[in-house]
Amino acid sequence: MKTRGAIVRKLNSEYEIVEMDLDEPRTGEITVQMVASGLCLSDEHVASGDFPARLPICGGHEGAGIVVAVGPNTSGWEVGDHAVLSCLPGCGRCRYCATGHQNLCEMTDNILVGSRPEEPDSFRLSYQGEKVGQFCHIGTFCEYSTVSVLSAVKLPKEMPLDKACLIGCGVSTGWGATVYSAETKPGDTVIVMGCGGVGNFAIQGAAHAGALNIIAVDPLESKRDFAMRVGATHGCASIEEASELAKELTDGHGADANAITLGTLKPEHMLQALESVGKNGVVVVTALGNATDIDFKLSLFDLTLKQKRIQGSMYGAVSPSWDMLKLVNMYNGGRLKLDGVISQTYKLDEINQGYADLRSGSNVRGVILFD
Ligand SMILES: [Zn+2]
Ligand SMILES: [Zn+2]
């Protein structure tokens, strides 16, 4: 079938909207008509070349839609089912899936190639005869996408798809950063650096886990105001200010955790975050740095004597096939706030405007709504 989608054909460029050929689903696959796809910064990293993706590639890794075709002998799915696509697949059988770390599934190794998770040389999209990858195996900036069932989670029909799409990346990454990776406990003091489409879910996670003080750090007042509406107890324009405040609130000890949820991680952020946490404190890193950045400063003295931890956090350390449903149930139960997070919606053809708005800071989260 034919489908329109947004692809990157050369580095340091913008998304181009083109008409492509999409294969029918094979065994273990479904074709999804996309209803909504979030504009996450990671797709911008693909266009800029920060992520060394195989080109051409169809962007988008935060989508939800309706199943329009099911591959032969593919159990558990029917035409008409609603699905949220996970930015990482989970096979359920590898050592990571089997030990509760589905976010590290062995099938995630070629997300920048965008071929099938199970078959690295097999593609489902093509443009003028050339194979096109699907970023994170799902390429949701596309009217239709054929995906592995390992990348899809069935949704209850009452879950609105234009909100559900966010659970495929930003919600899970942020919420899991404070709940799972930081292991926030009741009474804790948590700093969240960066209050965009990931940070405000880190704030909600900290609140759900019982943090007493949640300090939102963002230079933009509008983002700090929004953070306060979703559970932050304090807002600071700089990490230095947040660090001082954390000490004031804890009799001089410092924060229990600092979740770095910035768009782009720089080496200096690591030192700032490590200085903001107290004894036994943890710095959780969800933000992505440049692949060539290998140097950052830290006090080795402090690290040992104060027993501090640095914890990388991939996709919030969630296991998508259960955690995404849990987050959907929390939304439907009124506990997770998604509605106000979508600050702007766009048509597929307006995707580059959406990214310009994200860069300028006028978006918490932009979402493409398909016709
Ligand atoms: Zn993302
Ligand atoms: Zn696995």
Over residues 64-81, the pLDDT tens digits come to 999 999 999 999 999 999
Task: Kindly give the distance from the C-alpha atom of residue 366 to the centroid of ligand 1, in angstroms, as a whole number.
Answer: 12
Q: What is the mean pLDDT of residues 347-353?
A: 96
d(CA 42, ligand 1 centre) in Å = 5
Q: Is 324 a domain residue?
A: no
In the predicted structure, residue 291 carries a pLDDT above the cut 80: no
> Does residue 353 sit in the same domain as residue 214?
no
Q: How far is the CA of 110 from the centre of ligand 2 (A)?
A: 13
Query: Same structural domain for residues 72 and 161?
Result: yes
Distance CA 274, CA 287 (A): 15
89/11 same-domain check = yes
| CATH number of the structural domain spanning residue 232 | 3.40.50.720
- CA 73 to ligand 1 centroid distance, Å: 31
Q: Which of 46-50, 158-162, 182-186 has the lowest mean pLDDT?
A: 46-50
Q: Which ligand lies nearest to the CA atom of residue 316 in the structure?
A: 1
Same domain, 148 and 203: no
Q: How confident is the model at residue 338 (pLDDT cuts 50, 70, 90)?
A: very high
- Does the structure show a pLDDT above 80 at 362? no
Question: Collapsing DSSP states into helix, strand and coil, what is residue 108?
Answer: helix
Distance 326 CA to ligand 2 centre (A): 19
Please name the amino acid found at residue 92: G
pTM of the model: 0.94
Cα 80 vs. chain centroid, distance in angstroms? 26
Q: Are both 21 and 158 inside the same structural domain?
A: yes
55 and 144 co-located in one domain? yes
Same-domain pairing of 202 and 296: yes
Q: Which ligand is nearest to the CA of 94?
A: 2
87 lies in the same domain as 182:
no
Q: What's the gap in Å between 153 CA and the centre of ligand 2?
A: 15
User: Is 327 contained in some domain?
Assistant: no
pLDDT per position as a tens digit, 260-290:
999 889 999 999 999 999 999 999 999 888 7
Query: Residue 247 has what pLDDT?
Result: 98
Q: Which ligand is nearest to the CA of 166?
A: 1
Is 329 part of any domain? Answer: no
How many helices (DSSP H) and strands (DSSP E) are in the chain? Answer: 11, 20
User: What confidence tens digit (pLDDT) does each residue in 156-173 have?
Assistant: 999 999 999 999 999 999
Ligand 1 geometric centre to CA of 166 (Å): 9
- What's at 324, amino acid-wise? M
In this structure, is residue 261 part of a structural domain? yes
Please tell me what DSSP assigns to residue 181: I
State the average pLDDT for the chain. 95
Q: How far is the CA of 277 from the centre of ligand 1 (A)?
A: 26
292 C-alpha vs ligand 2 centroid, how far in Å? 28
The three-state secondary structure class of 284 is strand
d(CA 259, CA 248): 19
Ligand having the closest approach to the CA of 197: 1
Does residue 340 surpass a pLDDT of 90?
A: no
Q: How many domains does the chain have?
A: 2
pLDDT band of residue 358 (cuts 50, 70, 90) is confident
Contact 364, 341 (CB under 8 A): yes
* Span from the CA of 36 to the centroid of ligand 1 (angstroms): 14
Q: What gap in Å lies between CA 7 and CA 46, rounded to an integer?
A: 10
Using alpha carbons, list the distances in angstroms from residue 322 to 90, 176, 218, 327: 11, 12, 31, 9
Within a domain: 301: yes
Q: Is-contact 173 286, C-beta < 8 A?
A: yes
pLDDT of residue 186: 98
Instruction: Please write the tens of the pLDDT for every residue from 170-183.
Output: 999 999 999 999 99
Span from the CA of 338 to the centroid of ligand 2 (angstroms): 28
How far apart, in whole angstroms, are the C-alpha atoms of residue 47 and residue 365?
A: 18
Position 332 in a domain: no
Looking at the fold, whether 236 and 275 belong to one and the same domain comes out as yes
Task: Calculate how far, in angstroms, residue 100's C-alpha sits from the geometric centre of ligand 2.
Answer: 10
Ligand nearest to the CA of 102: 2
Domain residue limits at 99? 2-168+338-369
- pLDDT of amino acid 171: 96
Q: Which is more confidently placed, 45 or 280?
A: 280
**For position 116, which CATH number holds?**
3.90.180.10
What is the radius of gyration, based on Cα positions, of the chain?
20
State residue 165 phi and psi, 5-degree precision: -55, -35
Ligand 2 centre to CA of 93 (Å) is 5
Contacts of 304 (CB under 8 A, 6+ apart): none
| pLDDT of res. 249 | 98
Q: Identify which ligand lies nearest to the alpha carbon of 169.
A: 1
Residue 50: pLDDT band by 50, 70, 90 thresholds? confident
- Give yes or no for residue 331 having a pLDDT over 80: yes
In this prediction, residues 53-68 reach a mean pLDDT of 97
158 plus 304 within the same structural domain: no
The answer to whether residue 325 is domain-embedded is no
List b or e across 162-171, with b for residues whose CB sees 16 or more CB atoms inside 10 angstroms: bbbbbbbbbb
Q: Which residue would you say has higher pLDDT here, 42 or 152?
A: 152
In b/e form, how buried is each residue of 51-82, taking b as 16+ CB within 10 angstroms? bebebbbbbbbbbbbbbbbbbeebeebeeebb
Alpha carbon distance 150, 218 (integer Å): 36
- Are residue 203 and residue 86 in the same domain, yes or no? no
Question: What is the Å distance from ligand 1's center to 198 Cα?
Answer: 8
Other beta carbons within 10 angstroms of residue 221's beta carbon come to 10
One domain, residues 126 and 224? no
Q: Which ligand is nearest to the CA of 104?
A: 2
Token code pair at residue 34: 């996309």
Q: How confident is the model at residue 11 (pLDDT cuts 50, 70, 90)?
A: confident
Looking at the CA of 60, name the nearest ligand.
1
